[in-house]
Structure 1
Amino acid sequence: MRLLLTTCLLAAFTQGACAADPLAWRGISLSSAEWGEKNFPGLYGKDFVYPTVASTAYYQAKGMNLMRIAFRWERLQPSLNGEFDAAELARLRDFVDGTTARGLHVLLDPHNYAAYKEVHVGKPEVPIAAFADFWRRLALQFKDNPKVQFGLVNEPRNMPTETWGQAAQAAVNAIRKTGATNLITLPGNGYTGAWSWFEKTWYGTPNAEVMGRVNDPLDRMVFEVHQYFDKDGSGTNAECVGPDIGVERLKRFTAWLKANKRRAILGELGGGANAVCEQAVTGALQHLQANADVWDGWLWWAGGPTWGDYFLSLEPGADGKDKPQMRWLAPFLSPTAPPARP
């Protein structure tokens, strides 16, 4: 009897995982332009640096199609409600324009935790209107590029969830008033953890009770949650809790998406280079694919030129060799996959 192996079965035998068709978005967070946050504006090339457009070719060749680019609100807009800094805008635009010209999509990531110079949005010094103004200006810069996505901010924290919900709605409204139709990604409060979406912790009302009220009139908005698999879910420890922790920390949020008829992207995930984390990450990605009716994709944390031997970095070494985690992701990537949905 002749045995025919599908591509998926072959992957299962050779790489330890069996992936269905890739999700629409598969990518990485490129980190370095947001560095030097204690020194504004800082010296370019010393305190912070943007990834090069050329560096994205490595990830594109692996089958990734979305680059999340981190930068700082304070550098781009040195004064609240003021004009953008010309030099910083040029650096951001060079990366975005060059990367999208390669056929990749770019997710803009103001890596600010919903704060401006460590003062959180909603305080008298940083009113919600200033956050909306920032996004109005940023949308005007990039609204004509359909390959650009707008991530409202990285990991809001240390504020009432109701305040963040109001700020998010104001930003969405400001974006849409410019005529921008770009996809928006909406994080929750308290570091936007999938596993803590229902928890009433230091920030008060759970995300599950507030964030579903944020509305996009174009219905082109998805939730952005982050999830790590170490003991405290921070992604600072190379050891993962157990092989099934990926699924365990995602499944309740997945059920919430289905119940509320919403969609999401896993904007950050990662794990140290060991067998337990490999199983946890593989399980998490299989869970996303099994629930593709509500999950649009994922982004690994992290890449970028300044990480050195950071245990979560996927940036290839000087020898050009892949990091071990890239092997885990291979079954969930396909360089010849159909184009992502617009």
Structure 2
Amino acid sequence: MLSILGGTLVLQSSAGAAGVCFHGVNISGAEYGVDTAGVYGTNYVYPSEKTVRYFAEKGMNIVRLPFRWERLQPVLGERLDTGELDLLRKAVELIRSYKMKVVLDPHNFGYYHKKRLGTADLPARAFADFWIRLSIEFANDDDIIFGLMNEPFDIHATDWLSAANQAIAGIRAGGARNLILVPGTHWSGASSWEQEFPVGVNGDVMGGVKDPGNNFAYEVHQYLDEDSSGTHDTCPKAKEAVEGLERFTQWLKRHDARGFLGEFGGSKDKACLAGLTAMVEAMESAPEQWLGWTYWAAGDWWPETEGNNIQPTASGDRPQLAAILEGIGTGERPSCSTLH
């Protein structure tokens, strides 16, 4: 389980246990639609029981659940939409009924409609307000993890750190002790964590996360294709992706911190499959630093021809599933708690 030892989040597991706590999948669909509320069942969808059951039976124990901030909070600074909150709750309860944990993931890239976080139109206090309201709804549920934001990409690292810290402070002030996942800016890439970009250097700035509850981990993403975007069907940078995870592992060690790989994926290309296995193995070999991972992606509406798709076909499992499961190994898994 996870507990505090000398002020640090640590992994405690039974004798003979090996590897990270959490291995799972993103189930896409509720984040569909851009700059519009949309109609449930027409423009967006939450996971079906069939899909949830499939991944639970494959041994997954966590689902990262993308959704849109705009639908859940139609007006900044005001209450959450009761209808959308009910849909989110039902999806969470469905996943929990299959004994899987849930990462709540506002899949907004640092935006609300076309307003960029950190500007006068979308100040950090609006982001904190959203998380205060959402965290109250799911406070202190050991099965619920708060993923602050999916891939903020063009907000300066110092501005993003300030917004993240304000959201964390609000969550804790409301009494929620849940594990919080904190990304960096510039898509929160693992391999680029210590590189300099116009928006700053995550590795230089994000060590400044302040959590009064001391219960957070850094969320990074990593793909294996030519530009680390996950949009190509070949993986010429598979080796670089694994090396990026290893460098990030060292950064975590230096900062006495924990990490979570919120997205990674590849096609059925042989280099991609080998890279996926190697990435999982790299995390499994460092459970002191890594809490786990969620593959991108599955979903009832996920495009059939999308290269990273891990949703089963009519003929059965996709080869990417075998690749990531191969990396897990066969040792006894640790039993992990997200509250302390």
TM-score, L = length of structure 1: 0.90
* More relative contact order, 1 or 2 (CA 8 Å, 6+ apart): 2
- Residue 59 of structure 1 is matched in structure 2 by 55
Q: Matches of 2:325 and 2:247 in 1, distance apart?
A: 26
- Residue 130 of structure 2 is matched in structure 1 by 134
Letter in 2 for 1:254: T
Cα offset, 1:338, TM superposition: 4.0
- Residue 185 of structure 2 is matched in structure 1 by 189
Verify: 1:34 aligned to 2:24, yes or no.
no
Q: Matches of 1:215 and 1:53 in 2, distance apart?
A: 37
Q: Matches of 1:103 and 1:335 in 2, distance apart?
A: 20
Give the share of equivalent positions with the same residue, in percent: 38
Cα offset, 1:137, TM superposition: 0.3
Cα offset, 1:183, TM superposition: 0.5
**Deviation digits for residues 257-312 of structure 1 (CA, Å, limit 9, x no counterpart):** 11111110111111110211122111111111122211111110001111122111
Q: Aligned with 2:222: secondary structure?
A: strand
Letter in 1 for 2:204: E
Number of residue pairs the alignment of both structures matches? 320
Change over 3 Å in CA distance of 1:146–1:36 after alignment to 2: same
Q: Matches of 1:85 and 1:138 in 2, distance apart?
A: 11
Verify: 1:95 aligned to 2:83, yes or no.
no
Verify: 1:327 aligned to 2:322, yes or no.
yes
Q: Matches of 1:181 and 1:130 in 2, distance apart?
A: 21
Could you tell me whether the CA contact under 8 Å between 1:26 and 1:333 is conserved in 2? no
Letter in 2 for 1:26: H
Q: Matches of 1:27 and 1:229 in 2, distance apart?
A: 18
Q: Matches of 1:95 and 1:82 in 2, distance apart?
A: 23
**Deviation digits for residues 50-85 of structure 1 (CA, Å, limit 9, x no counterpart):** 112442111111111000000000000000001111
Verify: 1:218 aligned to 2:213, yes or no.
yes
1:149 pairs, out of 138, 145, 151, with 145
**Deviation digits for residues 175-200 of structure 1 (CA, Å, limit 9, x no counterpart):** 01111111100000000001111111
- Residue 47 of structure 1 is matched in structure 2 by 43
Cα offset, 1:23, TM superposition: 1.4
Letter in 2 for 1:30: I
- Residue 306 of structure 2 is matched in structure 1 by 310
Q: Matches of 2:94 and 2:320 in 1, distance apart?
A: 27
Q: Matches of 1:162 and 1:179 in 2, distance apart?
A: 26
Verify: 1:236 aligned to 2:231, yes or no.
yes
- Could you tell me which runs of 5 or more consecutive residues in structure 1 were left unpaired when the two chains were aligned: 1-19
Letter in 2 for 1:312: N
Larger radius of gyration: 1
Letter in 1 for 2:81: D
- Residue 5 of structure 1 is matched in structure 2 by none
Question: Larger deviation: 190-199 or 249-258?
Answer: 249-258
1:295 pairs, out of 290, 299, 317, with 290
- Could you tell me which runs of 5 or more consecutive residues in structure 2 were left unpaired when the two chains were aligned: 1-16
Within-5 A mapping of 1:253-264: 253-264=248-259
Q: Matches of 2:298 and 2:332 in 1, distance apart?
A: 22
Q: Matches of 2:43 and 2:114 in 1, distance apart?
A: 18
Letter in 1 for 2:136: L
Could you tell me whether the CA contact under 8 Å between 1:245 and 1:280 is conserved in 2? no
Could you tell me whether the CA contact under 8 Å between 1:197 and 1:206 is conserved in 2? yes
- Residue 110 of structure 1 is matched in structure 2 by 106
**Deviation digits for residues 108-153 of structure 1 (CA, Å, limit 9, x no counterpart):** 0000011111211111111111100000000010114220000000
Aligned residues: CA RMSD? 1.6
Cα offset, 1:243, TM superposition: 5.0
Cα offset, 1:202, TM superposition: 2.8
Verify: 1:73 aligned to 2:87, yes or no.
no
